[in-house]
Amino acid sequence: MSPLQRSCRRLLCGTRSLLLLPWLALPLAGQSPSAGGLLATIVDERGTPVPQVTVSLEQNGGLVRSLVTARNGQVTFGILTPGSYAVLAEELGYQPVRMHDVPVQAGGTSQVRITIRRMPPPITAVADVPSNATMSIATVQGGGSDRNLRLFPRTTDISSAGRDFSDISVPDDGRPGYAIAANGLRPSWSSLVVDGVPEALLRHPGIPSEAATAPLFARDGLSDVSRTGFGASADDPSVLGSTLEGTSQRGTGKFTFRPWATYSGAKLGGRGADNPDDSAATSIQAGLAMGGAIKGDTAAWFVRGDYQQLELPSAAPFTLGSTMADSDANLLGAFASAAPAGSQHDINRWLAPTVRTWKGGSGSGRLDWRFGPNTLLAVRAGGASWTEQNPQVGTELVNGAGAELKAHDVSAAAALTTGSDGWTSETRLGGHSAARDWTGAPLPATLIAGDALAFGGAANLAGNFKEMGIDLSEAFSYRMGVHTLKVGGAVQHRTVNYDYIPGSAGLYTFGDLGTFTAMTGAFYQATRGAASPDIGVSDLAIFAEDQWQATPAFQIFAGVRFDHEALPTDVIAQDAAWERVSAFNNAAVPTDSKSQDFAPRGGFRWDAAGNGHTVLSGSVGLVPGQYDLAAFAEAAQFDGDVTVRRSTGVLAWPASGSTAGTDAGQALTTFAPNVHKPRSFKTDLSLAQVLANGTTLTVSGGYRHADYLLQRTDLNLVAGALATDADGRPLFGALEQYGALLTPTVGSNRRFPEFDHVYGLTSSGYNDHYQATLALDHHLNQSVSVQVAYTYSHTTDNLPGEMSADPANRLSPFPDGLNGARWEDGRSDFDIPHRLVATLALATPGKSAFNLAARFRMQSGLPFTPGFRPGVDANGDGAAGNDPAFVSPDTPGLATVIAANSCLSSQSGSFAARNSCRDAAVQALDLSAAVKLVHGLALTVDAYNVISTSTGLYDHALVLVDPHGTVTTDASGHTVLPLLANPGFGQLLSRRGDARIIRIGFRVEN
Amino acid sequence: MRRNICLILLGLSAACSNAGESLKYPSLAIGRLAVSDYFDRDASGGVTPDDTTFAGARFALLAPGGTDTLRTAVANASGVAIFDSVPVGAYRLVVDRHALGDSIGVVQGDTGLVRLVTTQDSITAIRTIGLGYSVVSLATARTLPVGRRVFVRGVVTVPLQTFSDTATYLNDSSSALRVTNAHPIGRTTRNGIGDSVMVLGTIAQVHGLTVLDQGAIYTLAIGPAPVPITVTVTDARTAQGGTLDAQLVKVIGTTIRDTATVNGVFVVRASDPADSTNLVDVLIDPALGAPASFFPIGSTMTITGALSYDGANVWGIKPRMAGDIIIP
């Protein structure tokens, strides 16, 4: 079989294997987080076990190990690196058989049954057969393919593998990374584990929805990627979200040399809308992966590296239409002209398309050394360094021009696995370091609220983020008859430094062209003194588990895990002034309650017929999360050392600092005294049925309830509403109007005037997530396969503003409730109910092998709350992005908008419910083709987003502030806001998303 | 295994355990705002022995700059209203005017902010609110409806003991006013010309003109005698269309034309020396005791006195003492 054919077969069979994972189980010789096992049974054509058969385990064409079958025809490879293997059975007088694509998963034992037939000599070829592996692992959830490591690598790092899972919500605004939501939770609750060692997935902590990347772990350096939605095993540290797990590639006995390179250009098949400036930006990628043996099948090495220089033009930053407060035909030009002359204040770069660049490389290596048959030492190390120019930062309106990211990751890990048929011990040691240094453009962030325009640096920049961690863990398992006991522990120490103050570069908000020209609006800036502190966090985990094979068909497991996390108590300074006026100690540090550190878990698996064709499995348990270090770092920064400067009226744009505003008081962030570590209750149930003619159907569902999540409240909000508007909206500040902008008078919304916002963080947040997945895996023949996975989910929570980089937007606009209920209890910001991934793979055999694959992905749009334009603070609470609109047909022009949007019609006469409307669904079709030329050289063509929907930032403003109106008071004493309907409600404001890219290249497979 | 199952069940119950647990941020420290009111009977602007408490006054707590009422409290018989369990912070305390009636206003204490902050011992704030009748100018008093009780502040031009009808006359920079049925408050029973006084009375009308009836006079200070306004005979007779009613005026160089007793009042009729038909009456109060022989016909007379209305669109000059009548 050719390498290309093998690649295709790996796709076909590997995917099937993954889908089988939840219900195919065997008693395990000893579970290991980073090693698996293989049990091969060799029988003749009558089904009789054949002893003394030489069984060789191969990987990437190289020999891994060889053993001889016992009298029962079986041979066991006890400790294997997870990945895909080939099993070769040879015996004199029999036709040799090589079974391909046998998966080995960490913590599981795969079983294959190979039939060899008597054959008189001469024997000239090995018979190739597909895998019939069954395996046991109860913790991995499918729903998509995780083996497409060589397919659709739009970005080469492991984080892009999330696009192959239907139960993962991926970013649809052009930003790469692993998930914007998993289990209905923000991505910071998900994690990356490679070779059983936690790795950095370092995000901008001020952007909760940022899907982080990990270029250090490139696809060509990985042999396996999976996703764990529920770590039901007690030794799985697990997280509230999901864990992306990878296994680094190891060398084999065969020398491999696999260079690759690609080229793409903005004009090579790109869309005009994605490149309106007709940029000639080009991108190149090149890499090399090599491996081989050091000492037979005892030791092997593997190294890889890549370099990428990517240039991607952006779409026009603003899609201007009739939605704006200003009707100027050349609005962008008008704003550019209105800005003071001079290059320092040139705003054109933010009003025009830009080119985003990514430049850098990564390298890694791995060494495997086997000491005897059951002791394996694996060591890996690597690093990545890259810079990004003009990256899109979060979901802010500003297009990212002028921003820069310098980043580097370093990681090293070692695993020592040893044992016998009855026991297994695995010791892992890892360390990592990651840094992200963001700088913003010199011009302060400037928002024109009424026209939904923005220029200048992003308000969430600059920021410098570092994380270092070291992990040590031990897992020991021992089999006693039908029971397999497992105990172990882990210690981890992380040091993070999140040097970041939201709004530190200044934020100007104007209403429209007129007020921008007049320089009247609002200004905000947070200034600080000392640098952010290093935060050292220690974690200790102890676990025990029993797996009981009650009957050959019924397996039960149960365990308990103890997780204790200790936060430093000396990094948050006590603010005496705050304590004096409030009696609250802002330096309160959450501490673990011992009773809440225990997390029981359990599950079952029932193989109805004992052949793996009908399997029902389920699991239930508690998963303790970890403290939100971004929040902790915020409390350590905002501990009396941050002063807010504000101003309204005539501004000194674009000045910042002392010349731009007046001291509005200290800003604090403080934990409530009773903050708990977050946790999640998770349960899964799965029914899998292997149908005839190569079709497998899986129906699975799960429920997650995460609680003790952090909710935000402003302790320094004025003691009660100052007034009520005509719709019943409580107003917490005296409103000033500047054209299409409403903003509170500085200090009017504060309880204690010497302080600005004082955010209190409580454990009152929760998240409820239901999910059901239907997966179909159909193999038409050896060359064509289809996998379809559809996931439906429903997520509710009480955590508004999760998509926003401004912490103020996570405040409830109705802190005292609305009509006796909590307005924020509702549809989650991450509720993306429909997700579909369908993959078609075609592989032609022969010397001129041709592989073609297509992947179609669809997911619902993000939900949103019909409200006001960003920057408008309709209730004067200091948050300029959290106010829902009042859906009233009495508002001029709104009856038409209500009639045109079904999500509004049922809300007439009330405040818009949280996330009651939704952006358009996003679809994308990717194609990948490879043609083998000669000597393993293949020509590759990858086309991403061949067909896709336009997406980006949508206009979520249902109403606009009428720049020609004024705030008045009616006869009842209620405040009347001057509002107009926004005819552009729901339309695209800024086109963003994955552009169409066509890459041509080559790769060598040997 | 049973133990494991128990652990799972325990965990499941723990998962729901926070359902009834308060995870909200603890409420801010609460304090007490005590409001003490008094009725400023002497319009002194402060608490004096003459003042009393005011039961039933309704107070409202508002956010600074706000118009929506957060809390209300009503003063008890001791004039004390308590806002209990008030979270620390800044507030504005206002008096519910609608509950006070037309006459009573706030004279002190409902401006500015009340600030409750935590201290080691107490987070109680005490605010004193002074209530009282409104203090108005004499000109404003003239515009008020009959029956409104008000304080007026002015300078005595005619002391209450001057005339036999117990009236006293005041003026200020805005106007002049006659106080009828006046009586002193305090240890003194008299007052003098030039005294600064505060008079609490009820708006009334006599012959269609506004007076302050039942005036209780608080003498605040002694001052120089006010200077009369020099007017013509015509102005004196018409009080300049009524604007000089009760004003202390002076007419120089009139000619005495006649004397008579009209309705029991001794009247000296004087005219402009150049126009014998342009007459003004000088009303001699019995308390003055001036005989007719004191006013020789044809003599020149300079007269000072308060303008007093007779109900027929004619004002007369009412001298206070002999010194107000100068006949060379």
ipTM of model: 0.74
Token pair recorded at residue B113: 């902010």
pLDDT along chain A (1006 residues), means of 10: 36 32 32 71 90 89 83 82 86 92 77 89 86 56 47 84 84 85 90 92 88 92 81 78 88 88 93 91 96 85 97 89 68 81 72 95 94 86 97 88 96 91 87 97 93 91 95 90 90 96 94 93 93 94 91 88 93 94 92 84 86 85 92 95 96 90 96 92 91 84 95 95 96 97 96 95 96 89 86 97 94 95 96 95 78 94 96 97 96 95 95 97 94 89 92 95 95 94 92 93 88
Q: What is the pLDDT of residue A323?
A: 53
Taking an 8 Å cut-off on Cβ atoms, the answer to whether A724 and B68 are in contact is yes
pLDDT tens readout for residues B121-147: 557 888 899 888 888 999 999 999 999
Other beta carbons within 10 angstroms of residue A336's beta carbon come to 18
Choosing among B25, B28, B69, B119, which should be mutated to test the A contact, i.e. which has the most A CBs within 10 A? B25
Q: What is the pLDDT of residue B21?
A: 57
Please identify which residue in the block is written with the tokens 């497991």.
Answer: A557
Q: What angle do CA A446, A452, A457 make, to 5 degrees?
A: 30
Taking an 8 Å cut-off on Cβ atoms, the answer to whether A560 and B25 are in contact is no
Taking an 8 Å cut-off on Cβ atoms, the answer to whether A672 and B90 are in contact is no
Taking an 8 Å cut-off on Cβ atoms, the answer to whether A583 and B88 are in contact is yes
Taking an 8 Å cut-off on Cβ atoms, the answer to whether B11 and A622 are in contact is yes
Which amino acid is present at B193?
I
Taking an 8 Å cut-off on Cβ atoms, the answer to whether B67 and A973 are in contact is yes
Closest CA to A451 of A324, A295, A552, A305: A324
Which chain B residues touch A707 with a CB distance below 8 Å? 15, 18
Which chain A residues touch B5 with a CB distance below 8 Å? 558, 602
Taking an 8 Å cut-off on Cβ atoms, the answer to whether A715 and B25 are in contact is yes
Taking an 8 Å cut-off on Cβ atoms, the answer to whether B26 and A673 are in contact is yes
Which chain B residues touch A706 with a CB distance below 8 Å? none
Q: What is the pLDDT of residue A848?
A: 63
Choosing among A718, A875, A968, A972, which should be mutated to test the B contact, i.e. which has the most B CBs within 10 A? A718
Nearest CA-CA distance, residue A906 and chain B, Å:
30
Strands (E), B111-208: 113-116, 124-133, 135-136, 149-158, 168-171, 176-180, 183-184, 196-206
Taking an 8 Å cut-off on Cβ atoms, the answer to whether A602 and B29 are in contact is no
Kindly write down the DSSP assignment for every residue of A226-268, as one continuous string: EEES---STT----SS-EEEEEE----SS-EEEEEEEEEETTS
Taking an 8 Å cut-off on Cβ atoms, the answer to whether B15 and A621 are in contact is no
Which chain B residues touch A674 with a CB distance below 8 Å? 22-23, 26
Which amino acid is present at A654?
P
Taking an 8 Å cut-off on Cβ atoms, the answer to whether B24 and A762 are in contact is yes
Taking an 8 Å cut-off on Cβ atoms, the answer to whether A752 and B8 are in contact is no
pTM of the model: 0.85
Q: What is the pLDDT of residue B67?
A: 87
Which amino acid is present at A847?
K
Closest CA to A875 of A643, A758, A720: A720
Which chain A residues touch B67 with a CB distance below 8 Å? 722-723, 973
Q: What strands lie across the sheet with B104-108, from one edge to the other?
A: B80-87, B30-39, B124-133, B104-108
Rounded Cα distance between A921 and A172, Å, is 10
- Alpha helices by DSSP H, A558-657: 576-582, 594-597, 629-637
Helix (H, G, I), strand (E, B) or coil at B164: coil
Closest CA to A702 of A616, A605, A619, A615: A619
Determine the distance from the C-alpha atom of residue A188 to the mean position of all C-alpha atoms in its chain, rounded to a whole number: 7
Taking an 8 Å cut-off on Cβ atoms, the answer to whether A705 and B26 are in contact is no
In B, minimum Cα distance to A679 occurs at B15
Give phi and psi for A519, each to the nearest 5. Answer: 60, 45
The span from the first CA to the last CA of chain A, in angstroms, equals 12
Nearest CA-CA distance, residue B53 and chain A, Å:
30
Which one of B8, B24, B70 has the shortest CB-CB distance to A602? B8
Nearest CA-CA distance, residue A583 and chain B, Å:
6
Taking an 8 Å cut-off on Cβ atoms, the answer to whether B118 and A583 are in contact is yes
Determine whether B207 is exposed, middle or buried from the number of CB atoms within 10 Å of its CB (0-12, 13-18, 19+).
Answer: exposed
Token pair recorded at residue A929: 């083709």
Which chain A residues touch B90 with a CB distance below 8 Å? 718-719, 750-753
SS3 helix, strand, coil % of chain A, rounded to 5? 10, 50, 40
Q: Do residues A25 and A865 lie in contact, with contact meaning Cβ atoms separated by under 8 Å?
A: no
Kindly write down the DSSP assignment for every residue of A123-176, as one continuous string: ---PEEE----EE--SS---SS-S-GGGS--SS-BGGGGGGG-TTEEPP-SS--
Q: What is the pLDDT of residue A296?
A: 75
Taking an 8 Å cut-off on Cβ atoms, the answer to whether A723 and B10 are in contact is no
In A, minimum Cα distance to B68 occurs at A723
Determine the distance from the C-alpha atom of residue A742 to the mean position of all C-alpha atoms in its chain, rounded to a whole number: 35
Length of chain A: 1006
Which one of B5, B23, B63 has the shortest CB-CB distance to A722? B63
Which one of A548, A718, A722 has the shortest CB-CB distance to B67? A722
Q: What angle do CA B216, B220, B221 make, to 5 degrees?
A: 135
Choosing among B23, B27, B124, which should be mutated to test the A contact, i.e. which has the most A CBs within 10 A? B23
Strands (E), A296-354: 299-313
Nearest CA-CA distance, residue B87 and chain A, Å:
8
Interface list for chain B against chain A, based on CB atoms closer than 8 Å: 1, 4-5, 7-8, 10-12, 14-15, 18, 22-26, 28-29, 62-68, 70, 87-91, 117-119
Which chain B residues touch A577 with a CB distance below 8 Å? none
Which one of B12, B14, B66 has the shortest CB-CB distance to A721? B66
Choosing among A240, A483, A579, A582, which should be mutated to test the B contact, i.e. which has the most B CBs within 10 A? A582
List all residues 6 or more positions away from A245 whose beta carbon is below 8 Å from its beta carbon: A106, A192, A193, A194, A225, A226, A227, A228
Rounded Cα distance between A221 and A219, Å, is 5
Rounded Cα distance between A168 and A229, Å, is 10
Which one of B5, B25, B66 has the shortest CB-CB distance to A723? B66
Q: What is the pLDDT of residue A122?
A: 85
Q: What angle do CA A504, A643, A526 make, to 5 degrees?
A: 15
Taking an 8 Å cut-off on Cβ atoms, the answer to whether A600 and B70 are in contact is no
Q: Is A563 left (phi over 0), alpha (psi -120 to 50) or beta?
A: beta
Q: What angle do CA A911, A914, A916 make, to 5 degrees?
A: 90
Which chain A residues touch B28 with a CB distance below 8 Å? 582-584, 715
Token pair recorded at residue A570: 């000396």
Give phi and psi for B304, each to the nearest 5. Answer: -125, 140
Q: What is the pLDDT of residue A321?
A: 60
Confidence of residue B73 (pLDDT cuts 50, 70, 90): very high
Q: Is A238 left (phi over 0), alpha (psi -120 to 50) or beta?
A: left
Helix (H, G, I), strand (E, B) or coil at A810: helix
Closest CA to A799 of A837, A770, A829: A829
Number of A to B CB contacts under 8 A, please give it: 128
Nearest CA-CA distance, residue A270 and chain B, Å:
50
Rounded Cα distance between A161 and A178, Å, is 7
In B, minimum Cα distance to A586 occurs at B25
